Amino acid sequence: MKKAYIALGSNLGNRLENLKHSLKLLSTERGITVTAISAVYETEPVGGPGQGPFLNACAKVRTRLTPTILLLEMLDVENNMGRVREERWGPRLIDLDLLVYDRTTISSPLLELPHPRLVERDFVLIPLADIAPNLTIPGQEKTVSEIISNRKSTDDVKLFLPSGWYSAL
C-alpha cells in the first residue's frame, strides 16, 4: 500500500456537503482507504474570475492504485458529483488534486507529482500540515512544516471547522 495526499476544495453549492460527499465517494472506490482528514479552512480564490470563497481540506489515503489510476478515480468522483470544467481556475462544485504519492515524481501531460503549485499555496499547505507536518515533499527535501515556516504567507486561510468534522473514519 502506498500513501498519497489529496487536496479537496469547493466554492459552489453546499461547500461542506460537497467535501463530505467527495470523501465518501473516494472511500467507496476499490483500492482507496481514507486514513486522515485535516480541518476545513475557508479561503479566498486564487487566480481565475471573480467567485465566492472556497472551503479547503486535505486527506491522506492508502492505496494499491498507481498514481495515474488514482488520479483517474479522483476525476471520476468529480464527474459523478457534477463538476463542470468551463474556465481554468473558475468556480467549482468539487476539486480534487493529487498532491503527493509516496516519494514518486512524475511529469506527464496527465499528471505532475508532486503537484506543481503545492509549495506556493497556503490553502493547501496549511491543511496538509494538519495531517502530515513532517511529510517531506519530493524534490523540495523539506517538510511541509519547514516550507510553511520559510515562506511569507500569501493567502488568507481561516479555520472553518476543526479536525474531526468528518465522522466516517
Range of the domain at 72: 2-161
**How many domains does the chain contain in total?**
1
Residue positions annotated with a catalytic role: 83, 92, 95, 97
Instruction: State pTM to two decimals.
Output: 0.93
168 lies in some domain: no
> Which CATH number goes with the domain that contains 114?
3.30.70.560
169 lies in some domain: no
Across 66-92, b (16+ Cβ under 10 Å) vs e yields ebeebbebbeebbeebebeeeeeeebb
How does pLDDT run along the chain (169 residues), one tens digit per residue? 999 999 999 999 999 999 999 999 999 988 999 999 999 999 988 776 668 899 999 999 999 999 999 999 999 999 888 877 666 666 788 999 999 999 999 999 889 999 989 998 999 999 999 999 999 999 888 999 999 998 887 668 999 999 999 987 6
81 lies in some domain: yes
Coil/strand/helix, residue 134: coil
